[in-house]
Amino acid sequence: MLRVGDRAPGFAAQDQDGELRTLDALRGQHVVLFFYPADETPGCTAEACAFRDEAEALRAAGVAVLGVSTQGVASHARFAARHGLPYPLLADVDKALCKAYGALGLLGVAKRVTYLIAPDGRIARVWQRVSPAGHAREVLAALQPA
């Protein structure tokens, strides 16, 4: 598991539209990278929809949101379309991204963990215990000045 202050590992992964997404392309802004076990499961759907519901506020705060699971592009495309998810879902079928971020769980699926990556590419915050329905608000609150 990565810790606050660590450099976020770079990545290149396809999203639900087949577009290659990289961390380098997002340099200079905050990035929320949330790992979740599987499309269309109750907790994962609640978490993804919570980020959908806070998408405008997150965008206004200058934050890019990316979801990650080990399922493929087609599964992510169906999931995003069914729930109107306005952000990229990265297909980590080779599990390299999950491994790099210490987010690979039992049975080869992603653990539910979220990283907030600062504009300089360092880990600013880690959530290892995530309550799916309220998590997006928790992340948004962490971005507000103290």
Active site residues: 44
Give the count of beta carbons closer than 10 Å to the beta carbon of residue 133.
14
Quick check: helix, strand or coil at residue 95? Answer: coil
Give the tokens for residue 81: 């379309």
Q: What residues contact residue 101 under an 8 Å CB cut-off, 6+ apart? A: 1, 2, 9, 33, 35, 113, 115
Look up residue 142 and give its two tokens. 């962490």
